[in-house]
């Protein structure tokens, strides 16, 4: 337990706060992350107060100098956060007053911690959301690199985890590039909606001072101001939106992880992760485990948890500010940090993954994944698709019976099912043809995958 400093509100109270209650109430151990945003917000506030004639120019100058020196000292490690302060806002104000005296006490005119914290979180998230976008771009780059390498590697595509149709590895990877691109645009959307300044909402009702909220918002790089002071201090929907976007990133990463884990197993062995991103076992000498991918899959639950923690905290809160809302920060900080950590490890893991095309191809030769193409062959020669589908089903059953594959059945055996079959069927159902003929936009052919890579490159450069 810490020896707390005297409370600002001590005048109203006969007794001081119980020390356990004080610890319980305090948030500085996590909201100290927002020191920079808090200080920059306060500098803009002091400028606005002086411009409006609410404080003197000399007080404003003293405040700005004081705040700048605090920022410098925190960043150089000269000034440590005083954990006996309730939160970062109290800390900065107390430190300022310590440094510049009475002028420091004028800073909190025409604002409240309620609008201050709402401002700080928005600024913090705006900065950090951008880091997530940068990391997503790195991951997409790694995917493009691997997709290029694997654009002609044939493997089975799956539905229900049953071999379905032949696809290219590049095509499969490019599906993830699309997902992560949408994740970027989701974050941008959320930030655009969030980027309105709540400062000047004050405790909840606005203020009697002649403030200029628009000036302050503009100084801080917001697109505008929040239009209702109660809403400005009491909603955290922007945190929820961002956390939903992070949860979707994690969901995508988790599906990708699951596939990498499967592909790395001896049952598949389509890829081998680099030693730098795998671990061994303490007992089984042969093991090479995909721990990083597993951890990313595991941490997905944690980010979902953060999202649900905040949604649940907000549910049923009466307007406006309630202390419950202090819980927003640990959830959103954890979500953002976890997502960044996972993206940061994922890009190089994908980049260094070794592709094993022989194993992909071997798997593609089994499982009758060219059966659709055989049915299409008959259909193109005039047979209705449903009839073709039925005949091919019977041929597959015969192959299973004879323990063979479609490519090895003789023309005579084919003819027993339909005399439409000719020698050209073999070319039609070769894996290479199956893939090469799927030239529809977004399809699996090499040319289509190349077009997809090109398209994503363009989107990334926007």
Q: How far is the CB of 37 from ligand ARG (least distance, A)?
A: 13
In three-state secondary structure terms, 279 is strand
Record the tokens describing residue 122, joined without a space. Answer: 């928005």
Side-chain-side CA neighbours of 60 within 13 Å: the count stands at 15
Q: Dmax over Cα atoms in the chain, in whole Å? A: 101
Closest CA to 135 of 390, 337, 286: 337
Give the integer Cα–Cα distance in Å for 40 and 126.
Answer: 14
Query: Which value, to the nearest 10 degrees, does the dihedral of the CA atoms of residues 288, 292, 296, 301 take?
Result: 60
Alpha helices in 229-327 (DSSP H): 229-234, 237-264, 291-314
Query: Which value, to the nearest 10 degrees, does the dihedral of the CA atoms of residues 386, 390, 392, 398 take?
Result: 180
Give the integer Cα–Cα distance in Å for 211 and 232.
Answer: 16
Choice between 27 and 201, CB closer to ligand ARG: 27
Q: How far is the CB of 87 from ligand ARG (least distance, A)?
A: 4
Question: Is-catalytic flag, 247?
Answer: no
Instruction: Report angle CA 373, 378, 381 to the nearest 5 degrees.
Output: 125
**Is the previous residue joined to 320 through a cis bond, with omega within 30 degrees of 0?**
yes
Choice between 246 and 321, CB closer to ligand ARG: 321
Choice between 45 and 172, CB closer to ligand ARG: 45
Query: Which value, to the nearest 10 degrees, does the dihedral of the CA atoms of residues 364, 368, 372, 378 take?
Result: 120
Neighbours of 327 (CB within 10 A): 16
Determine which one of 19, 68, 223, 281 is catalytic: 281
Q: How far is the CB of 89 from ligand ARG (least distance, A)?
A: 6
Choice between 113 and 146, CB closer to ligand ARG: 113
Record the tokens describing residue 204, joined without a space. Answer: 């909840």
Choice between 26 and 452, CB closer to ligand ARG: 26
Q: How far is the CB of 216 from ligand ARG (least distance, A)?
A: 18
DSSP H/E element including 155: strand 154-159
Q: How far is the CB of 310 from ligand ARG (least distance, A)?
A: 13
Q: How far is the CB of 86 from ligand ARG (least distance, A)?
A: 7
For residue 150, count CB atoms less than 10 angstroms from its CB and return exposed for 0-12, middle for 13-18, buried for 19 or more.
buried
Task: List interacting residues with ligand ARG (CB under 6 A).
Answer: 27, 31, 87, 113-114, 117, 321, 323, 325-326
Cβ-Cβ contacts under 8 Å for 160 (sequence gap 6 or more): none
Instruction: Report angle CA 173, 178, 180 to the nearest 5 degrees.
Output: 95
Q: How far is the CB of 21 from ligand ARG (least distance, A)?
A: 13
Question: Is-catalytic flag, 45?
Answer: no
Choice between 166 and 232, CB closer to ligand ARG: 232
Determine which one of 76, 160, 410, 461 is catalytic: 160
Choice between 27 and 370, CB closer to ligand ARG: 27
Burial 109-126 (b: 16+ CB within 10 A, else e): ebbbbbbbbbbbbbbbbb
Neighbours of 371 (CB within 10 A): 19
Q: How far is the CB of 33 from ligand ARG (least distance, A)?
A: 12
Choice between 26 and 445, CB closer to ligand ARG: 26
Q: Which residues are catalytic?
A: 160, 281
């Amino acid at each position: 337990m810490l020896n707390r400093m005297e409370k600002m509100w001590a005048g109203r109270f006969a007794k001081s706060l119980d020390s356990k209650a004080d610890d319980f109430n305090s948030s500085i151990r996590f909201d100290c992350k927002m020191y920079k945003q808090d200080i920059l917000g306060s500098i803009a506030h002091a400028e606005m107060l002086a411009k409006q004639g609410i404080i003197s120019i000399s007080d404003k100058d003293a405040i700005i100098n004081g705040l700048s020196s605090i920022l410098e000292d925190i960043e150089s490690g000269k000034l440590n956060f005083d954990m006996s302060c309730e939160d970062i806002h109290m800390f900065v104000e107390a430190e300022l007053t310590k440094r510049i005296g009475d002028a420091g006490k004028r800073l909190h005119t025409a604002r409240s911690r309620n609008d201050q914290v709402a401002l700080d979180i928005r600024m913090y998230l705006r900065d950090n959301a951008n880091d997530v976008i940068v990391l997503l771009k790195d991951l997409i780059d790694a995917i493009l690199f691997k997709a290029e390498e694997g654009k002609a590697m044939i493997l089975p595509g799956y539905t229900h985890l049953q071999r379905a149709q032949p696809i290219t590895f590049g095509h499969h990877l490019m599906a993830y590039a699309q997902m992560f691109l949408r994740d970027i645009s989701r974050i941008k959307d959320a930030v655009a909606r969030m980027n309105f300044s709540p400062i000047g909402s004050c405790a909840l009702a606005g203020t009697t001072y002649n403030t200029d909220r628009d000036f302050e918002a503009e100084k801080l790089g917001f697109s505008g101001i929040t239009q209702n002071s109660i809403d400005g201090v009491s909603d955290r929907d922007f945190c929820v939106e961002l956390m939903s976007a992070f949860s979707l990133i994690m969901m995508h990463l988790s599906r990708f992880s699951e596939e990498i884990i499967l592909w790395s197993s001896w049952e598949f062995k389509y890829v081998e992760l680099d030693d730098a991103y795998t671990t061994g076992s303490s007992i089984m000498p042969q093991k090479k485990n995909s721990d990083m991918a597993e951890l990313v899959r595991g941490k997905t639950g944690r980010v979902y948890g953060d999202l649900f923690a905040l949604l649940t905290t907000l549910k049923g809160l009466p307007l406006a500010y309630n202390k419950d809302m202090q819980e927003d920060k640990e959830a959103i900080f954890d979500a953002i940090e976890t997502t960044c950590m996972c993206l940061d490890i994922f890009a190089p893991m994908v980049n260094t993954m070794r592709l094993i095309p022989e194993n992909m191809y071997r798997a593609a030769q089994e499982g009758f994944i060219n059966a659709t193409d055989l049915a299409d062959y008959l259909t193109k020669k005039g047979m209705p698709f449903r009839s073709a589908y039925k005949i091919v089903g019977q041929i597959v059953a015969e192959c299973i019976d004879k323990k063979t594959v479609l490519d090895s059945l003789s023309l005579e055996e084919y003819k027993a099912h339909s005399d439409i079959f000719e020698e050209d069927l073999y070319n039609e159902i070769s894996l290479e043809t199956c893939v090469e003929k799927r030239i529809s936009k977004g399809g699996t052919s090499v040319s289509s995958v190349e077009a997809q890579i090109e398209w994503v490159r363009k989107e990334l450069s926007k």
